[in-house]
Structure 1
Amino acid sequence: MNLLLLMQKNCPRSARWCLLLSCSMLASPAVAKETHVGPSPRMKRADAFLGIHFDFHAGDDCNSIGKRTTPQMVEMVIDKVNPDYIQIDCKGHRGYSSYPTKVGNPAPGFIGDPLRIWREVTRKRGIPLFMHYSGVWDYKAVADHPDWAAVDGNGKPNAKATSVFGPYADRLMIPQLRELAGEYGVDGAWVDGDCWGTTPDYSEATVQKFCAQTGAKSAPYKQSDPYWNEWMDFHREGFRNYLRHYVDELKASHPDFQVISNWAFSDHMPEPVFANVAGLSGDFAPDNSVNSARFAGRCLENQGVPWDLMSWSFSRKNNKQKPAVQLMQEASQVLAIGGGYQAYFKQDRDGAIRSPAEMDVMAEVAKFCRDRQAYCHRSVAVPQIALLYSTAGHYRASPSLFHWNGTNGVKVLRMALTEMLQNQYGVQILSEHHLRGHLSEWPVVVIPGWTFLEADFRDELAAYAQSGGRLILIGTGPKKLFDKELAQIADSSIVVVDQVDAAFPDALRHGLPNPIVEVVGSKDVDVSPRMLNGNLTVHLVNSSGPHANAPDEGIKEIKPVGPLTVSIRLDQPPKSIVMQPEGKSLEIEWQNGRAIVTMPHLDLYSILVVEP
């Protein structure tokens, strides 16, 4: 089969769109308007693959910021890491700015202007510079302006969170981002503490607005109260309007300024992208990071927008630097499903880089990523199993406005994801907006633990099963949603398993009897069949190790797994299968429509590139 046709047949529409967008970017790279004299325009964030992030959340204890910030320090970071972009602190959750702002709340003391140094060096070297800027969370702003704060159910102003219905964005955030864009010429902002920092606001003005919109007599205070779902949706829409507002305002005044809102349109916020953001991003869990990245990346990869994920380079449990190999394994989970990668290193309280030795660690990780970039970045999944992250089901049950934690559906989903990966299945996490009208593109759809689905989508899933698709329902909640179909359909189009146990892999095997890729030799291998540059690529990640309980000194060694036998379903024998980045051509055995190769071992992350 023609490879382009294979790609079009096997890739979901959203993924095809992303690939076409990528191709158009390569053909016609976006050019930033640059008013400063210097090298050629800097890379747009949408094209970036590798970054490094620094922050220190300046506070009232910081009275000598800039004391040790030198051009040589910035040059050292660039020379060692060779990043596509750098992100540095400018305003953290405490609300104090780590540069001498004229419109915000500067930290107590500066020695010179450290942001000028970062900007001049990065401009000279052609490196984009992004700001770590805390959005909704701003402790200083709400302390100085209690009327800007969200109000809790007891009538007390929140000590951390501003209200998305209040004047904070217009009075402080937008003016300060414009200062950064105009006075300093920075390339954009990575806005932290945004969706996940948003909280319900019980202020009188907000409650009155809610009651006028919904007809409620008062605001609800708990999930069992009338209008609770409407109350939560009202605040979610408030955040959407706030995000669109500040992004659009910045685009109007500074069209080249690029905004990313941390964790927007992600596992925290599983909904379509509705704002003109430059990309999607998040910092996954600093501990148990491999499992966090497995989940978070699959919630981003189908959103149709360039994305990246960030490791914490240190453990939050003990603040110790992670060894390079541990970060490489975390990065592998991101790269293997097409994303960009960045890692977070702390700055000292004066804003200086903590240690050149930490940059040596990042240099090793960066080389590991660069060696694989040509074989992974912007790859798109070949549909195998769709694992439903129901936006409606999650929002209906979640105690939070925007966070993945707290619902049984996500709890079961994450357990199911682990089981699928440990049984070497390619799996995508998809929501209603990905699947509506496109269910037939997936051989199997798994419904994990959701107790509520919108009626029209539930009916579409039922029709999918009745027309030959395979639904796997996990638990009593999904079973009740499809009781009628279970009574009517005699075949195994709908399969129910009580929980994620031995019955679940059996159901998957019956639902997907001839997967594109089969791997024998170790359960500690995550498998992702994907398309890139017209070729089928098979991404194999060594996922072994104590992820949830890493030793205090970090994971210093990840033992190779194997030998592995990899069987790939194809229409005809391929010309070659090459293991990358090792450049090793593997001997192929052709048997019953499958190309079979043997890998003596898998060290950490390798890609099999299939040439037809």
Structure 2
Amino acid sequence: MVQLSPRQVHLDFHTSPAIDGIGEEFSRENFQAALKEGNLSSITVFAKCHHGQCYYPTKVGTMHPGLKFDLLGEMVDAAHEIGVKAPIYITAGWSAMDAENHPEWCGRKKDGSISASNYDFSCGPDDPKPACSWIDLCLNDGSYARHIYDITQEVCDRYEHVDGLFYDICFIREACYCDECVAGMKEMGLDPSNEEDAKKYYVIKHQDFMRKCGEILHKKHPEASIFFNSGGAEPNMPEYHDGSTHFEMEDLPTSWGGYDKMPFRAKFFERTGKSYLGMTGKFHTDWGEFGGFKPGEALKFEVASMMTYGARCSIGDQMHPSGKMDMETYRNIGYAYNYAQKIEEYSLHGRPTAKLGIYLSKNDTSNEGTAKMLLESQIDFDIVYQDHFEEFDTVILPDYVELSDGAVEKLQEFLKAGGKLLFTGESLVKDGKFQIDAGIRYEGNYGYEKDYLLIGDELGEGTVRSPFLAYSPAVKVEVEEGDVLANVMLPYFGRTYGKYCSHKNTPYNPADYDHAAAVQNGNIMYLAHKMGEIYKGYGSVYHRRYFINALRRLYGAQAFEVKMPSAGRAAMRYQAEEGRYCLSLLYASPITRGAVEVIEDMPPLYNVPVKIHVPEKITRVVTAVSGEEIPFTRDNGTVEFCVPYVQCHQMVVLETEQA
């Protein structure tokens, strides 16, 4: 298994051919000084960029017209000289020069038009160009893919030691209808007019692309890593996981979905057994931003967050066309990575202690919303991987999970053995019926776009007792066995032009509430609303508290309990060889400014209460970085203490009797 370096930079260099003097200010001394200042163990450098230019003397591609030397080779040698790895970047799905010179290489939509991202073909050369605007190229193992194979072969032959290859923009569409793909589908006996056949061909040929790139690399450099980006690290795209030696989760939280997207993805990829890293950026926004800076404290929080969930770290940067590294950038990165190095031994191995599992649905919004409710409640969780329900005490199926027949059997075995289940919305619905006997019968829906929740005493702690709005409608169920703990209250009518009330949703009908919203039948709890989807979209504290109250009626096997504000995050790992538990506590409160989530203020928390429930006897509690002893008490196997302070991140080590 490839073991990734812990502290990386991903160095972009998408540089226009209209700019001259490329790399003229590059020096080995400046490059190495930046890597040392940033405390890097690896830096991804560039062979070919989105403009289509190569940054080394090439016979296959086109060297940047403003470059007069082997910039790639100089960077690789300079990094290796100081013990830093230097995997190599090759653009795949976007290459402007190739798209212009070889229109037959372009991806095509079903109507025959060129596939593109944020690109207006009606614009002239002097019209303003929007950000991230590129034409898509076809990687379906055809003529353009063969060009990438040739680039790959050239790079592998040219450099004596290649640490790895990183291919970008690989899986951004579901199908391609270029002439080569249409002909290939027919040759394979597939129908190009059938959307499912086109998708099937796309997957098969992309898998061929990955396999062939890997064969070229590993024939010459058998220990090298390889990763295919843009869809290659998505939990719901497992068809593309085998081609990579590891996973790089490209989550730039300021602009790409926030700070809670990464944790559940990290937990998923840990389950694969391959090494994985989180990727953020040094930018205020995201890729391609020259002159944008994120504060060092924000970077420190981000890398500590990655490591909280067992991920190694990568920070994105972009080199100036001059080739000179920006030392302000690497001072910021170094500030974060100097801290990261101090907590590596407590973060990057061991196993998670969570006994609560999420079974990921095909809907990322539901997954993220469900994870967010747990994260904000400091309830640690893991991912149910390959139907291993038996590893958990309680399992959550969020909103849209449909199980295979084999998975249903395993779930039923789990429940018979005493396992507990919370499922929501349309989960476990197939062919108009629930896939398991939970004491409820599926009846479809009520016919309204929104409805209301009326919560009883059992699930009401911290919520309002008035009917409160659910922003997505409940599933209609008939209760055959079990206790109804909350009700759906319906509106007077749906909102139409012919019948409406006020600005938004129709008010509730006080007489129409006898409909089940929450049903508990033994060790099974069902919530009729799509709670993950609702919380991701609207973030009401009352929805979260309702969901957590329902969960707590089932789940009682938490390894730890922490009391922090909702912006606090907590996770714990057990390191058996060292005989210790490592509790990671994070606290920062991102705020939205314009279109960007920003972390600026880093207020401390003091005397954070913690309870630990583990089978081993705890003999010592200490902060990892400062070595401060923390007094604790023990009562019936439960260890209690207060963490004296948490500012940005605190790692607490709990040593056991066997240590």
TM-score after normalising by structure 2: 0.76
> Aligned letter for 2:600?
K
Match for 1:304 among 273, 293, 296? 273
> Contact 1:383–1:441 at 8 Å: present in 2 too?
no
By how many angstroms is 1:313 displaced? 0.7
Match for 1:428 among 382, 385, 391? 382
By how many angstroms is 1:384 displaced? 1.6
Matched, 1:523 2:566: yes
By how many angstroms is 1:611 displaced? 1.5
Matched, 1:323 2:295: yes
> Contact 1:309–1:340 at 8 Å: present in 2 too?
yes
Match for 2:175 among 200, 220, 228? 200
Deviates more, 1:287-296 or 1:149-158: 287-296
By how many angstroms is 1:327 displaced? 0.8
Deviates more, 1:113-122 or 1:156-165: 156-165
> Contact 2:359–2:398 at 8 Å: present in 1 too?
yes
Matched, 1:567 2:627: no
By how many angstroms is 1:187 displaced? 2.3
- Distance in 1 of aligned mates of 2:414 and 2:201: 32
After superposition, residues 295-374 of structure 1 pair within 5 angstroms as 295-316=264-285, 320-353=292-325, 355-374=326-345
By how many angstroms is 1:358 displaced? 1.3
After superposition, residues 473-492 of structure 1 pair within 5 angstroms as 473-478=423-428, 482=434, 484-487=436-439, 491-492=521-522
Match of 1:85 in 2: 42
Match of 1:246 in 2: 213
> Aligned letter for 2:386?
L
RMSD (CA atoms):
2.7
Look up the SS of the partner of 1:46 in the other structure: coil
- Distance in 1 of aligned mates of 2:49 and 2:375: 36
| Residues 198-245 of structure 1, C-alpha deviations (whole Å, 9 max, x = no match) | 4411134423543565664x424xxxxxxx444323322322221112
| Residues 441-498 of structure 1, C-alpha deviations (whole Å, 9 max, x = no match) | 1111111121533233234323322332112112134456636512387533221112
- Distance in 1 of aligned mates of 2:166 and 2:428: 36
Deviates more, 1:548-557 or 1:500-509: 548-557
> Aligned letter for 2:566?
K
- Distance in 1 of aligned mates of 2:524 and 2:381: 18
By how many angstroms is 1:378 displaced? 2.5
After superposition, residues 107-506 of structure 1 pair within 5 angstroms as 107-158=64-115, 160-168=135-143, 171-210=146-185, 213=188, 216=191, 218-220=192-194, 228-262=195-229, 265-267=232-234, 269-271=236-238, 275=242, 277-287=244-254, 289-316=258-285, 320-353=292-325, 355-390=326-361, 394=362, 409-430=363-384, 434-436=385-387, 438-450=388-400, 452-478=402-428, 482=434, 484-487=436-439, 491-497=521-527, 498-500=529-531, 501=543, 502-506=545-549
> Contact 1:298–1:429 at 8 Å: present in 2 too?
yes
> Aligned letter for 1:449?
D
Q: Return the index of the structure with the highest Cα Rg.
A: 2
Look up the SS of the partner of 1:147 in the other structure: helix
Judged with a 3 Å threshold, the aligned counterparts in structure 2 of structure 1 residues 605 and 305 are, in CA distance, closer, same or farther, namely: same
> Contact 1:51–1:85 at 8 Å: present in 2 too?
yes
Judged with a 3 Å threshold, the aligned counterparts in structure 2 of structure 1 residues 551 and 577 are, in CA distance, closer, same or farther, namely: farther
- Distance in 2 of aligned mates of 1:452 and 1:195: 28
> Contact 2:591–2:598 at 8 Å: present in 1 too?
no
Match for 2:642 among 588, 595, 598? 598
| Residues 401-440 of structure 1, C-alpha deviations (whole Å, 9 max, x = no match) | xxxxxxxx2211111101101111111234xxx233x211
- Distance in 1 of aligned mates of 2:602 and 2:647: 8
Look up the SS of the partner of 1:435 in the other structure: coil
- Distance in 2 of aligned mates of 1:549 and 1:375: 34
> Aligned letter for 2:146?
R
By how many angstroms is 1:108 displaced? 1.7
> Aligned letter for 1:545?
S
Look up the SS of the partner of 1:185 in the other structure: coil
> Contact 1:279–1:306 at 8 Å: present in 2 too?
yes
- Distance in 2 of aligned mates of 1:493 and 1:368: 43
Could you say which structure has the higher helix fraction?
1
TM-score after normalising by structure 1: 0.81
Greater RCO, 1 or 2 (C-alpha within 8 Å, sep 6+) = 1
- Distance in 2 of aligned mates of 1:374 and 1:516: 21
| Residues 535-569 of structure 1, C-alpha deviations (whole Å, 9 max, x = no match) | 34243332431255489795332111232111111
Judged with a 3 Å threshold, the aligned counterparts in structure 2 of structure 1 residues 269 and 93 are, in CA distance, closer, same or farther, namely: farther
| Residues 240-279 of structure 1, C-alpha deviations (whole Å, 9 max, x = no match) | 2211121122212332443122255522654277546332
> Aligned letter for 1:115?
L
- Distance in 2 of aligned mates of 1:210 and 1:238: 10
Could you say which structure has the higher strand fraction?
2
By how many angstroms is 1:189 displaced? 4.2
Judged with a 3 Å threshold, the aligned counterparts in structure 2 of structure 1 residues 555 and 357 are, in CA distance, closer, same or farther, namely: same
Judged with a 3 Å threshold, the aligned counterparts in structure 2 of structure 1 residues 347 and 538 are, in CA distance, closer, same or farther, namely: same
- Distance in 1 of aligned mates of 2:581 and 2:114: 53
> Contact 2:249–2:262 at 8 Å: present in 1 too?
no
> Contact 2:141–2:209 at 8 Å: present in 1 too?
no
Unmatched 5+ stretches in structure 2 = 117-134, 441-480, 483-520, 532-542
> Aligned letter for 2:43?
I
